[in-house]
Amino acid sequence: MTPEGPHFGQAVRPADPITPEAVHTDYTPKVFGRRILYYDSVDSTNNTLRRAASRGEPEGTVVLANEQTAGRGRLNRTWVSPAGVGIYMSLLLRPQSGGIPLFLYTFLPAVATARALRRVSGLPVFIHWPNDLTLRGRKIAGILTDVRSGPNHPREVIIGIGINVNNMPGDLPPELQEIATSLTIAAGRRYSRASIIQALLEELERGYALMKSGTSMDLVEAWRKLSPSHQGTPVEVVGGRGKNFRGITRGIDHDGALLIEAAHGGVERIAFGEIRRIRGGLQHAPGS
Ligand code: BTN
């Protein structure tokens, strides 16, 4: 051990705290992040926040962890969450009325994360439907939204965000080396996780205000601009409820579902699952 931090193989990690004190330095939260529950290690920040929510924690409460031992991803995957390098954060919303379409609860964090990462790093972070964040074609962040329904509208919404920040290539498991990245891998420098969390909370709060005031079209428009792959991109649909198939993306519908002009004909509406970009395009494009 050194005064700066623990050894990880040959590398020494400088301290990069994400405690409430660190996040609240030079940053005065309004509602989001006013209450931060920080842990050195948890199973999953979403699980931890769900337990805290049932004890009555208010809207805007944030759980942050330096490490997750059972980080959860979409489609029952795990989210690799090594100590000290990534952001593992969950935010609690308690909607007071209906009328906000459910998909906006995933578009909101996608837009906020892309904006926050662009603001802090200047790097071209994009959204890949539904809410993967990519940098130069590799995944840099992911979002898992857990909704607990009430009789008329969601009672609790837990937005979980995982970001690869200061991960070195060796911090990524071999099977992710080709498809994932981090800010440090892309830019060759380290970033303050607290600064990213500050930017993220600001962006989340601004976007949520739009949703609540009924001007969520601005948010959808921002999502569209940050997600060029939702229009005219050759993709393969995998892990959905139907069979895998190939096609060209043709935009999103009013529910946030992705429209795909299938290579086998017709336009399919994809509300669930995952799309993978096909490098080099389709062999037999629709209409050709
Ligand atoms: C994905 O599969 O892309 C979603 C990954 C979401 C990971 C984050 S990390 C913080 C929060 N807690 C979890 O267990 N998962 C989310």
* pLDDT exceeds cutoff 70 at 6: no
Percent of the chain with pLDDT over 70: 91
Find the 4 Cα to ligand 1 centroid distance in Å.
28
- In single-letter form, the type of residue at position 54 comes to S
- Where are the strands (E) in the chain, listed by range? 7-8, 11-12, 36-39, 62-65, 86-93, 125-128, 132-135, 138-149, 154-164, 231-238, 245-252, 258-262, 267-270, 274-277
pLDDT value, residue 160: 98
Domain with residues 20-226, CATH architecture: 2-Layer Sandwich (3.30)
pLDDT value, residue 157: 97
Query: How many helices (H) and strands (E) in the chain?
Result: 6, 14
Ligand 1 atom 7, closest CA: 162
The dotted CATH code for 229-277 is 2.30.30.100
**Angle in degrees, CA 229, 172, 115, rounded to 5:** 40
Give, for ligand 1, the residue of 161, 176, 204, 274 to mutate: max count of ligand atoms closer than 8 Å to Cβ: 161
* pLDDT exceeds cutoff 50 at 3: no
* pLDDT exceeds cutoff 50 at 227: yes
Q: Closest ligand 1 atom, CA of 65?
A: 10
Query: What does the pLDDT look like over 26-79, one tens digit per residue?
Result: 999 999 999 999 999 999 999 999 999 999 999 999 999 999 999 999 989 999
Find the 92 Cα to ligand 1 centroid distance in Å.
14
Query: Which of the four pLDDT bands, split at 50, 70 and 90, describes residue 153?
Result: confident
Instruction: Pick the more confident residue, 34 or 152.
Output: 34
Find the 224 Cα to ligand 1 centroid distance in Å.
22
Structural domain boundaries in the chain: 20-226, 229-277
Q: Closest ligand 1 atom, CA of 68?
A: 14
Give, for ligand 1, the residue of 90, 144, 158, 200 to mutate: max count of ligand atoms closer than 8 Å to Cβ: 144
* pLDDT exceeds cutoff 80 at 285: no
Find the 1 Cα to ligand 1 centroid distance in Å.
30
Find the 280 Cα to ligand 1 centroid distance in Å.
30
Ligand 1 atom 11, closest CA: 160
Question: Quick one: average pLDDT of 93-108?
Answer: 92
